Structure 1
Amino acid sequence: MHLTIIYLKRTFAIILFTGIISLQYACSQSEQTTKETTVSVQQEETIAENLNTEQFYEMMQSQSGQIVDVRTPEEFATGHVPEAVNIDLRNPDFKKNLEQLDPDKTVFVYCASGNRSSQAMNVMKQDGFKIIYNHKGYFNDWVKKGYPVTK
């Protein structure tokens, strides 16, 4: 009888120990899955692409978005893409002026040569804009190809 009690205590201890280990493993797996899910949700990717004149025009035709001309107001006044807003990259309030845009909507950005608009695209990426297409070309190419221009 004494041996049976010792055997039962040992068996109970083994079952209890196995149960505790199994429970800890299951909880750690659940916690790891939760952490991975949280991380993947927080790491949304930004789409930021440089496009030539034809690609830029085609992309503007295929999806709606905000058109941003980052040239000076004087350059903008000589002609710009219809519906474009002028947010001068050289203006000290450039970042503040970007607040008039919706960072969740597609942005089409251009300038005279593609240099200022590339800089603007990088600022927009840092500010959390989701989709940015940069016209990596000359505005004169846009005009020469007969794409729409307004004053």
Structure 2
Amino acid sequence: MKIPVRIRRLLYVFFGITALGLSAVFWFYPADRDEPSGISGRLVGGYRILDVENTPDMIDFRVYRGDYIKFKPAPPVSSSVLKIPDLGIAETLDGDVGQAPYFKMKKRGTYPFTLGSARGRITVVEFDRPNYSAVSATQAAELINNIRPLVLDVRTKREYDGGHLENSLLIPVQELQHRVRELNGHKDEDILIYCATGNRSTVASKILLDNGFKRIYNMRDGIVEWGGKKLPIAQ
């Protein structure tokens, strides 16, 4: 059957818009990136997701200090109790990662855990990559005065409104993966990242480095140290 010219044109427009829409979806929501060898899990929305398998063997996870981790029990799961005694953690997980609690890895060390019948260890290590430097508040102030980097605040809007570094750009760490293209014009520039105490900024540093950013500085003790040094805070 021959399709009229007018109908064919409408179909071309429809499929063209559909293809463009799908391209936009994949642009805004990139696939998870592989981790460096030895680092466990994957980053999703600023959280490191750790998949716990049903195995009688000891499970070894390796994560960065500053990571916000979530556990994903192997299916089928009704509920399982997660225990990390050395961190004072005892939580019931139902397998829904989106609603699962997260845990901040604040200190280096090795922490035994159990999740249902699974057992293992989490080893927390310092983040260390090429093109990355952890700096003190004093060093950060010198960077701002001397090389004028882009200053990125990865806290929440409420925290930002309560006081921030002057001229800093706010992108909460939970949104950074999906908004990273907003910073593409700064890929070859110096970027100073901070949060409250250096944990979220470490996660944000990794996200930017994974996306090809070249010069990242992380204020390792955050705006808490900055304020403690009586350095200026804008309101």
The aligned counterpart of 1:119 is: 203
- Structure 1 or 2: larger helix share? 1
Matched, 1:79 2:183: no
The structure carrying a bigger strand percent of its residues is 2
**Residue 46 of structure 1: CA displacement?**
4.8
Find the aligned partners of 2:148 and 2:191 in 1 and give their Cα distance: 9
**Could you tell me which amino acid in structure 2 is paired with residue 142 of structure 1?**
W
2:87 alignment counterpart? none
For residue 144 of structure 1, report the CA deviation from its aligned partner.
2.3
Following TM superposition, by how much is the alpha carbon of 1:130 offset from its aligned partner in structure 2, in angstroms?
A: 0.7
RMSD over equivalenced CA pairs, Å: 1.5
Higher relative contact order (Cα pairs below 8 Å, separated by 6+ residues): 1
Q: Which ranges in structure 1 are unaligned for 5 or more consecutive residues?
A: 1-44
Matched letter for residue 86 of structure 1: L
Q: Distance in 1 between matches of 2:173 and 2:233?
A: 20
Point out 4+ residue stretches in structure 1 off by more than 6 angstroms.
none
| Structure 2, unaligned runs of 5 or more | 1-128
What count of residue pairs does the alignment treat as equivalent? Answer: 105
User: Matches of 2:169 and 2:211 in 1, distance apart?
Assistant: 18
Q: Deviations over 1:32-86 (max 9, x none)?
A: xxxxxxxxxxxxx952100111111112211022100000111111000000011
Partner of 1:150: 234
8 Å CA contact 2:149, 2:189 repeated in 1: yes
Percent sequence identity over aligned pairs = 28
Larger radius of gyration: 1
8 Å Cα contact 1:46-1:129 kept in structure 2: no
> How many angstroms apart in 2 are the aligned matches of 1:108 and 1:127?
16
